[in-house]
Amino acid sequence: MDFDIRKIRDILPHRFPLLLVDRVVAMQADKDIYAYKNITINEEIFCGHFPTQPIYPGVFIIEGLAQAGGILAFTSMFGIDTTSDGKIVYFMSIDKAKFRNPVIPGDRLDYRLNVLKHKGSIWLLEGKAFVGEKLVAEAELMAKIIDNKEQS
CA distance to 18, 25, 128, per residue, from 136 (Å):
20, 19, 8
Q: Which member of 49, 108, 118, 144 is catalytic?
A: 49
Q: What is the 3-state secondary structure (H, E, C) of 37-91?
A: EECCCCCHHHHCCCCCCCCCCHHHHHHHHHHHHHHHHHHHHHCCCCCCCCEEEEE
Q: Is 49 a catalytic residue?
A: yes
Catalytic residue numbers? Answer: 49
